[in-house]
Amino acid sequence: KAGVTQTPRYLIKTRGQQVTLSCSPISGHRSVSWYQQTPGQGLQFLFEYFSETQRNKGNFPGRFSGRQFSNSRSEMNVSTLELGDSALYLCASSSTGGGSYGYTFGSGTRLTVV
């Protein structure tokens, strides 16, 4: 059974640009969550999608957005990139989301903003 696949693995962008990251969840999983990991702030929740609907959102500016497609694949978009957006972005999938079921994480996309 394939795991959670995130593409690309590494990305270098310039300040002011926008970026789109992709996440393919485990087959059959309908919940996809996104997290940002930085040395200073640790792991922080961005948002969760379930059956194409955003179900929960963390405390990030509106430059961070996402969507989920009918096949449960999800994309995350960051517009007007800032240096502070440099981070490891992790995607996690779950069959239902939340609670006791746990999450399976992808290997992440390392975004560097220069």
Partner 1 sequence: AQSVTQLDSHVSVSEGTPVLLRCNYSSSYSPSLFWYVQHPNKGLQLLLKYTSAATLVKGINGFEAEFKKSETSFHLTKPSAHMSDAAEYFCVVSDGGYGGSQGNLIFGKGTKLSVKP
CA 62 to chain centre: 14
Give the binding range for partner 1 (CB under 8 A) out of 14-22, 37-45, 61-69, 73-81.
37-45
Q: How many CB atoms lie within 10 A of CB 92?
A: 22
Centre a 10 Å sphere on the Cβ of residue 44 and count the other Cβ atoms it contains: 14
- Under rule CB under 8 A, residue 95 binds partner 1: no
Burial category of 30 from C-beta neighbours within 10 Å (exposed 0-12, middle 13-18, buried 19 and up): middle
Which residue of 26, 78, 90, 111 would you call a contact of partner 1, by CB under 8 A?
90
Residue 106 binds to partner 1 (criterion: CB under 8 A): yes
Amino acid type, 37: Q
Residue 96 interacting with partner 1 (CB under 8 A): yes
Chain residues that interact with partner 1, rule: CB under 8 A:
4, 6, 31, 33, 35, 42-45, 48, 50, 55-56, 58, 90, 92, 94, 96-108
